[in-house]
């Protein structure tokens, strides 16, 4: 018989990871961001969002290096408006 033992702390961490992963982030990234943020959910979400923004910036500029920064910003704003 296998027994799974959780402490209040481990259940809380599991719950936070599950909650962050419902936003679309892979659980492995949620775990690493939560550890990096010292267990702070808000800090972990900031880390995940920053990584997402950096990846988008890199993808946009890598695929079309001739686009000016103001045009990229306009594209982001336009994309945000269509998703809201």
CA distance 14 to 20: 10
What tens digit of pLDDT does each residue of 20-49 get? 889 888 999 999 999 999 999 999 999 999
Contacts (Cβ under 8 Å, ≥6 apart) of 29:
48, 51
Please give the pLDDT value at position 9. Answer: 63
What tens digit of pLDDT does each residue of 60-69 get? 544 555 667 7
Please give the pLDDT value at position 61. Answer: 47
Please give the pLDDT value at position 75. Answer: 74
Please give the pLDDT value at position 52. Answer: 87
Angle of helix 27-36 relative to helix 41-63, nearest 10 degrees? 120
């Amino acid at each position: 018989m296998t027994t799974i033992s959780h402490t209040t702390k481990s259940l809380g961490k599991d719950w936070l990871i599950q909650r962050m992963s419902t936003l679309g982030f892979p659980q492995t990234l949620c775990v690493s961001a939560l550890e990096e943020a010292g267990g702070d959910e808000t800090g972990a979400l900031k880390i995940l969002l920053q990584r997402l923004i950096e990846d988008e910036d890199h993808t946009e500029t890598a695929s079309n290096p001739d686009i000016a920064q103001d045009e990229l910003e306009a594209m982001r704003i336009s994309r945000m408006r269509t998703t809201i």
